[in-house]
Amino acid sequence: MKFLRLLSKSAFQEMNYSCNDSNKGHTDCMVDLKGDNEMVVNNLKKIKLDVTEMTQNGNKKLKIEVSTAQQNSLPIVDWAPQTRVDSQLTFELGPVCFEY
């Protein structure tokens, strides 16, 4: 992984996240993402988060792309939902891609 990072100018990773809230009036479906460097990537200025959001039948689906020139932030190694515990969650993590 270090070799790929040294040769790369940037990196990106895609993920899909969905939540089905049992309380139909509550649609908060946020997630914290932790990178390989143990930092929460949501809060870093040099990380670009591209989020596409869809809602269908009470299900909220997010397609998230994380891109950065700080290659040590990727891959995403952990995630934490910011929703209540009575929500049904699905998280699919794609491969990290290094660009040179």
pLDDT digits (tens, 9 = 90+) for 12-48: 999 988 877 655 544 466 788 899 988 888 766 677 7
If pLDDT is split at 50, 70 and 90, which confidence band does 97 have?
very high
Regarding predicted confidence, which is higher, 85 or 76? 76
Core vs surface per residue 27-40: b (16+ CB within 10 A) or e: eebebebbbbeeee
